[in-house]
Amino acid sequence: MVRHFQRGQKARLGDLTLGTDLYVGVSISGPGMTFDISCFGLDADERLSDDRYFIFYNQHASPEESLQLLGPQAGDTESFRITLDRVPQAIDRLSFTATIDGDGTMAQAAPGYLRIVAGGEEVARYAFDGSEFSTERAVMLGDFYRKDGWRFAAVGQGFDGGLEALLTHFGGEVAEEEAPPAPEPPAVPAPAPAVPGFAPPPGPGPVPAPAPAPPAAPVAQPAPSAPPPAAPPSQPAPPVQPTPPPAPVAAPVAAPAPVAPPQPVPAPVAPPVPAPVPPPAAVPPQAAAPPPGPPMAAEPLPAPPAGGVRTALDAFGTLGEAAGRWSLQNPQLVRVDLAADEGRPIMARLGSMVLYQGDVDFAYKGGGIKRRIVSGMTGEGFGSLMRVSGTGQVYLAEEATRLHPVELQGDALCVASQHVLAFDETLEHEVRRIDGHGIPGGSLYALQFHGHGTVVVTTHGEPLVLPVTPMTFTDANATIAWSAAAQVLVAHQVRLRRHAYPGDSGETTQLQFRGAPGNFVIVQPYEI
């Protein structure tokens, strides 16, 4: 689930994701403007005491590679890979900044964002807009900082002066030593800095239409129809190498890839047309730049990341040592550690298991529960349950819907029966039936849970939690769950002109919720 941040908002990273191997993408653009996006690794005094932790276009990784610059990809102007559990203790804060290279002010910047992606899924996004700034030439976008674990803050603070001034701001004296490499771009706006090996890909991100620049290209371009691939005008974009050499065993997420030793891999891309360049293409990034002039026409694609299969798959993480009995492996997969809490069994929807480890027993649940639940159910909603017991770990999922473990501590929750994935057997549950003319299928079945334990609720898409007010109405098909103290009524809307247009099968029957303040109802953006 993407959590949207406002300027100044803070959150614990642990609440956003369990992963510590994060992808941070920044998208920022503006008419005719180029941005340098950097990451400052600051100490507890918010100073850049170690300039090896200033990650920018001239320094792509910190010494232990916990911070890496990945270059533009997936719609982001710039992207980083941040392995938080490998960041040295001395680094207390990671500050992501964008500075304008060349002319312009932040006020001219187009809407952009900073986003955090974990396990291939975006978990947080802080969107900003040029209108929030004025004449600043730099902006501090967001910070990761340590405070009982890592937290994220959406900063969105403009800063006068460019990268150089920002460095001085953070660095103090260090900036003096830092001076030679850093200030170069601000000083020379027009010609690209003379460091071709490292230069960020010249295309300023995805925003300007990736014009194939046909007028310029034809000189050497054989197939006039060959479109954007020829876009990188100066050199192949430095092949992004998302995965560092095998991490020390400490990092559970980026496990060393035993299958593929991390030496540079020859381009698996099939022999490109202008065969002259195959060997250089196999050499890692910088070395690939030299092949002179002509091959630009149909230049070979840069080599894929070294490391083969495992590298590509590492982005999705591997089974983690998750904490607690119920945890989310990713937004669509929940992990249950049956061994926790003295091996209490759980009830799960039949067929929801995708994977398990260890000693686990599945039993088709007949008898009491079956009678209580199934008898009241129309077949389609709640098929039947299985009882899962043992000491292993079970992973449950349902048609790639989003899963939400809800922990009940003595309170009660009603969940529409088709949205129950699993629950602790210790929870008491009973079927509630809401009848009403006009409800699809005749009536709506809900399971009311109460007691102490966890119930996993499924939603298609990101749910909406509405507080119950005197006038709260929902569509019966989109209603997922509600606090049990809320009263549910079936409301009919009288439409005077209900036949005014054809096909008016529309929104004539809703559920109305009433209750004391504090009650809520959960709705999904999907009508079954």
Contacting other proteins within 183-222 (CB under 8 A): 201, 203, 205-207, 209-210
Closer CB to other proteins, 161 or 212, in the complex: 212
Give the angle 78-80-312 at the CA atoms, nearest 5°: 105
What is the residue-wise DSSP string for 182-213? TTHHHH--SSPPS-TTTPPPSS-SSSS-----
Residue choice 107, 273, 289, 431 for contact with other proteins (CB under 8 A) = 273
Q: How far is CA 94 from each of CA 46, 82, 143, 353, rounded to the nearest angstrom?
A: 9, 10, 5, 39
Q: How far is the CB of 313 from other proteins (least distance, A)?
A: 5
Rule CB under 8 A: is residue 282 a binding residue for other proteins?
Answer: no
Residue choice 89, 219, 225, 470 for contact with other proteins (CB under 8 A) = 225
First to last CA, the chain: 20
Task: Give the C-alpha separation, 175 to 324, whole Å.
Answer: 45
Binding segment (CB under 8 A) for other proteins, from list 13-21, 345-353, 435-443, 462-470: 345-353
Q: In degrees to the nearest 10, what's the CA dihedral of 94, 96, 102, 107? A: -140
- To which residue do tokens 């992808």 refer? 23
Rule CB under 8 A: is residue 350 a binding residue for other proteins?
Answer: yes
Binding segment (CB under 8 A) for other proteins, from list 305-313, 337-345, 406-414, 489-497: 305-313
Rule CB under 8 A: is residue 60 a binding residue for other proteins?
Answer: no
Q: How far is the CB of 130 from other proteins (least distance, A)?
A: 10
Output the six-digit token pair for 362. 């599945």
Which positions from 9 through 38 interact with other proteins, judged by CB under 8 A? 27, 29
Q: How far is the CB of 236 from other proteins (least distance, A)?
A: 8
Rule CB under 8 A: is residue 361 a binding residue for other proteins?
Answer: yes
Contacts with other proteins, 112-131, as mask; x by CB under 8 A: -------xxx----------
Residue choice 8, 214, 227, 442 for contact with other proteins (CB under 8 A) = 227
Q: How far is the CB of 397 from other proteins (least distance, A)?
A: 3
Closer CB to other proteins, 226 or 464, in the complex: 226
90: left (phi over 0), alpha (psi -120 to 50) or beta: alpha
Closer CB to other proteins, 41 or 130, in the complex: 130
Binding segment (CB under 8 A) for other proteins, from list 170-178, 188-196, 330-338, 517-525: 330-338
Residue choice 180, 191, 215, 268 for contact with other proteins (CB under 8 A) = 268
What is the amino acid identity at position 516?
Answer: A
Q: How far is the CB of 206 from other proteins (least distance, A)?
A: 5
Q: How far is CA 215 from each of CA 218, 224, 352, 475, rounded to the nearest angstrom?
A: 6, 10, 56, 55
Rule CB under 8 A: is residue 318 a binding residue for other proteins?
Answer: yes
CB 346 within 8 Å of CB 369: no
Give the angle 148-149-150 at the CA atoms, nearest 5°: 125
Task: Give the C-alpha separation, 239 to 224, whole Å.
Answer: 25
Residue choice 174, 301, 412, 485 for contact with other proteins (CB under 8 A) = 301
Closer CB to other proteins, 4 or 452, in the complex: 4
Q: How far is CA 54 from each of CA 27, 94, 95, rounded to the nearest angstrom?
A: 19, 9, 10
Q: How far is the CB of 272 from other proteins (least distance, A)?
A: 6
Residue choice 149, 364, 467, 507 for contact with other proteins (CB under 8 A) = 364
Binding segment (CB under 8 A) for other proteins, from list 72-80, 137-145, 288-296, 478-486: 72-80
CB 146 within 8 Å of CB 84: no
Output the six-digit token pair for 319. 């089974």
Contacts with other proteins, 367-396, as mask; x by CB under 8 A: ----------------xx-x--------x-
CB 137 within 8 Å of CB 160: yes
Closer CB to other proteins, 145 or 423, in the complex: 423
Binding segment (CB under 8 A) for other proteins, from list 70-78, 139-147, 173-181, 479-487: 70-78
Sheet order of strands, 34-42 included: 10-12, 150-159, 138-146, 93-101, 34-42, 54-55
Closer CB to other proteins, 91 or 237, in the complex: 237
Q: How far is the CB of 18 from other proteins (least distance, A)?
A: 12
Rule CB under 8 A: is residue 279 a binding residue for other proteins?
Answer: no
Give the angle 336-341-342 at the CA atoms, nearest 5°: 110
Binding segment (CB under 8 A) for other proteins, from list 33-41, 96-104, 294-302, 464-472: 294-302
Task: Give the C-alpha separation, 80 to 66, whole Å.
Answer: 10
Contacts of residue 183, defined as CB under 8 A and 6 or more positions apart, other chains included, come to: 163, 164, 167
Binding segment (CB under 8 A) for other proteins, from list 9-17, 38-46, 164-172, 227-235: 227-235
Which positions from 395 through 414 interact with other proteins, judged by CB under 8 A? 395, 397-400
Task: Give the H or E element holding residue 117.
Answer: strand 112-118
Which positions from 235 through 264 interact with other proteins, judged by CB under 8 A? 236-237, 239-240, 255, 258-260
